Structure 1
Amino acid sequence: MEYINTKNDALSADTAYNLADVAKTAPQYDAISPRWLTRLLEWKSLDTGIFRLNKVRQGETLLDVLCSQDEDDNKIPESFIDYEPNPREYILNSISTIIKIDTRVSDLYSKPYDQIKEQLRLGIESMKERQESSLINHKKYGLINNIAPSQRIQTLKGYPTPDDMDELIAKVWKEPSFFLAHPTAIAAFSRECTRRGVPPVTVNLYNSHFITWRGIPIFPTDKLLVDGLRKPEMKSGKTNILLIRTGEQKQGVIGLHQGGLPGEESRGLSVRFMGIDNLGIGTYLLKIYCSAAVLTDDAIAVLEDVEIGNYYEY
C-alpha cells in the first residue's frame, strides 16, 4: 500500500522529529555563582569541630616596654606577654539537607545523565551557595557581623569612590588580600573611576578578569546583599564593600571546616547514603560543617551604606 503526503509530497518535520536524536544538557541552575570568598579564604581543618581563638590581652605589650627604655639605660627590660583569659571559641555550624530519589526513576531514566549524580550535584551546589552566604551574613560567625566598630567606615559621597577604597586600605594596610563587593557596587565604583579619569586596572586571575584598586583585586559576590535582598538585577539600593586579609600566618580571616568526615566529598562536605525504604525511595544525607574566624580586628574592614545607583555630582 502506498502512502502519499497530500499536503506537500514531502516528509513533515514533525514526523521526522520522532526519528531524530536530541542533544541535551545536564540541568542548568541559575543560582550557582563562582563563590569567590570560599575559594579565596585560607581554610583550617579541625579535628573536634571547635576552634579557640587565643589573643594577646589588650594593654601594655612587650614592644611598649622595650620602646620605653632609655638608650643609655643598661638595665635589661623585664616583662611578659599576657593573654586574654576568656578566648572566643567557634563551634562549627552545620548545613544539611536530605535528597530523596525513587529507585524506579534512577533505574529507568539515567541515560545519558545519571539521575542520582545529578540530584546530588544540584543539592551540593545549593548547599555550597548557602555556605558562602553564611560566611558573610550568619548572625554569629558571618564576616559582616564580626567587624570591629573601628573597622567600619561610611562612604564620603554615598556611591563608592576611590577615596573610600583608599580608606579601606588604610584600615587593612597589612598585606590586604582582596576586596569583596556586589556586582552592582563594582559597576558603580567603575563608573566613578571612569568619571574621574582613573579607570581601574584589569587583571586576569583564575582564568577570569577582575578590576583592581591599588593593585588589590575586587571580587564579585551576590551574597553581599543590596537592601537586605539577594537580587543582582537591582538598579538602586545600599550594600557593603569588604576588604579582607586572609591567612593564619598573616593573622587574617580564615575559614574553618571539619576534616576526615565519613563520606567526605570535598572540604567539610559529607554525602551519606541512608538506605532505601519499603516504597523504593533512596535517601541521601548531605552535610557541610563550616565557620569563619577573624583572627585580628585589622584583618577586615567594611565600607557601609554604599549606594549602587548612578548618582554623580558635577
Structure 2
Amino acid sequence: MAKNQEVARQSLSDQAARQLANATKTVPQLSTITPRWLTHLLQWTPVEAGIYRVNQVSNTDDIQVACTQRDEATLPQTFVDYELNPREYFLNGVSTVLDIHTRVSDLYSSPHDQIKEQLRLTIETIKERQESELINNPEYGLLASVADSQRLSTLTGAPTPDDFDDLLRKVWKEPGFFLAHPDAIAAFGRECTRRGVPPPTVSLFGSQFITWRGVPLIPSNKIPVEDGKTKIILLRVGEKRQGVVGLFQPGLAGEQAPGLSVRFMGINRNAIASYLISLYCSLAVLTEDALAVLEDVEVDKYHDYPSTYK
C-alpha cells in the first residue's frame, strides 16, 4: 500500500499536466440575447428616404355598388376618396460607436477575433433594443398604435380562453399571432389546464409554441410587466393583408443586414479603432383592425419580476 502511494506521488499531477494542455474556449456568451421572434414574424418593407406614407380611403361608407336586374339600365355612380393628410412614418435609428484598442485586436485575436466578437455582441444588443422599440416606442410601437376601439380588459384578471376569443373578434381578418410576455403565456396555459382545454402546439423556426384557435402565442420579454400586470397583443401582418409591417432602409453604406450598417471610423492618436453601428427601422399599422391589445392581464402574483428590458 505504501509503495503504491509513493508511485502516485511521483507521477505527474493533473494540475501540472494542464499547463501543457490547450483549453477549448467559447465565444463570449451574452445572457440578454433572445430569439426576437417578432422581427422574424413581421413582414419588412423597404422605404425610400426613410419615409413611409399610409394612404387611407376616407369615404368607405359612401362607395356604392349594386346588383342590377337584366333589364335594368341604370347603374349606381360612385368614387373612392382619399384622406388629404395621411400619416407618415419616419425611420428611427438605434446607434452606438464601438471602440477597441489596436493592441488588443493585434495581440489577442486567437482563437477568436476580438473585433469580430466585439461587433457581434454589440449588434446583438442593438437588435434587442430594436425589438423593444417595435413594441414600446411612444410614436410607432405596437402598444402605442392600438386604436381605442381595439383595446380590451380581461374578464377575470388572469388571461382566459374567453379573453383570447375577444381578441380574435377584434382581429378576425387573418390574424397572424399573439405576442405576450413569457409569464403571460404561462398564466394562460395554467387557465387552459384548469378548464380542461390544454392548448395544442405548433412548430415554427424549429421551436414549439402553444396556440389558441390555431393562432400561435409568441413570447417576448420586451412587453412590460409592472406590479404583476402585463398586456397581450394580437396582430395581422403584411401589406397585402392591410396589417402591420416593419420598415427598413435598404442600400445603407456598410450594410450588414437589412437596415443595419457597420462603418469603420478610423484610428485616433491613442490607437483606438472606432466603428459606427447603426440600425434604422420603424413599424406601421395599415388599418386599425390589424392590431388589438388585452390590458390589465394578471400573471403570477407571487413572482418577483425583474425590471423590463430597457
TM-score, scaled to structure 2: 0.92
User: 1:59, 1:180 → 2: CA distance?
Assistant: 30
In structure 2, the residue matched to 1:162 is: 161
In structure 1, the residue matched to 2:237 is: 246
What is the CA distance between 1:89 and its match in structure 2? Answer: 0.6
Are 2:175 and 1:184 equivalent residues in the alignment? no
Mapping for residues 68-79 of structure 1, pairs under 5 Å: 74-79=73-78
In structure 2, the residue matched to 1:23 is: 24
SS in 2 for 1:287: strand
User: 1:310, 1:139 → 2: CA distance?
Assistant: 27
User: 2:136, 2:59 → 1: CA distance?
Assistant: 28
SS in 1 for 2:144: helix
SS in 1 for 2:133: helix
Question: Residue 188 of structure 1 contacts residue 310 of structure 1 at CA under 8 Å; is this kept in 2?
Answer: no
What is the CA distance between 1:74 and its match in structure 2? Answer: 4.4
In structure 2, the residue matched to 1:231 is: none
In structure 2, the residue matched to 1:174 is: 173
Mapping for residues 1-314 of structure 1, pairs under 5 Å: 8-58=9-59, 60-62=61-63, 65-66=64-65, 74-227=73-226, 237-309=228-300
Question: Residue 240 of structure 1 contacts residue 304 of structure 1 at CA under 8 Å; is this kept in 2?
Answer: yes
User: 2:136, 2:72 → 1: CA distance?
Assistant: 52
User: 2:24, 2:60 → 1: CA distance?
Assistant: 68
What amino acid is the match of 1:93?
N
Q: Deviations along 1:213-251, whole A, 9 cap, x unmatched?
A: 000111100011101xxxxxxxx7011111110000000
Q: Deviations along 1:61-92, whole A, 9 cap, x unmatched?
A: 31xx225x887964211111111110011110
Q: Which moved more, 1:16-25 or 1:296-305?
A: 16-25
What is the CA distance between 1:59 and its match in structure 2? Answer: 5.3
SS in 2 for 1:173: coil
Q: Which moved more, 1:152-161 or 1:76-85?
A: 76-85
User: 2:20, 2:123 → 1: CA distance?
Assistant: 36
User: 1:308, 1:74 → 2: CA distance?
Assistant: 63
User: 1:139, 1:294 → 2: CA distance?
Assistant: 14
What are the ranges of 5 or more consecutive residues in structure 2 without an aligned counterpart?
1-5, 303-310
Give the direction of change, closer, same or farther, for the CA distance of 1:58–1:224 in structure 2 (3 Å limit). Answer: farther
User: 1:256, 1:90 → 2: CA distance?
Assistant: 9
Question: Residue 179 of structure 1 contacts residue 218 of structure 1 at CA under 8 Å; is this kept in 2?
Answer: yes
Identity %: 58
User: 2:8, 2:39 → 1: CA distance?
Assistant: 61
User: What is the root-mean-square deviation in Å for CA atoms of aligned residues?
Assistant: 1.9
User: 2:176, 2:147 → 1: CA distance?
Assistant: 18
User: 1:152, 1:58 → 2: CA distance?
Assistant: 24
Give the direction of change, closer, same or farther, for the CA distance of 1:58–1:237 in structure 2 (3 Å limit). Answer: farther
User: 1:61, 1:199 → 2: CA distance?
Assistant: 46
SS in 2 for 1:134: helix
User: 1:147, 1:35 → 2: CA distance?
Assistant: 21
SS in 1 for 2:16: helix
User: 2:220, 2:198 → 1: CA distance?
Assistant: 21
User: 2:169, 2:59 → 1: CA distance?
Assistant: 22
SS in 2 for 1:303: strand
Question: Residue 59 of structure 2 contacts residue 80 of structure 2 at CA under 8 Å; is this kept in 1?
Answer: no
SS in 2 for 1:86: coil
**Matched positions, count:** 296
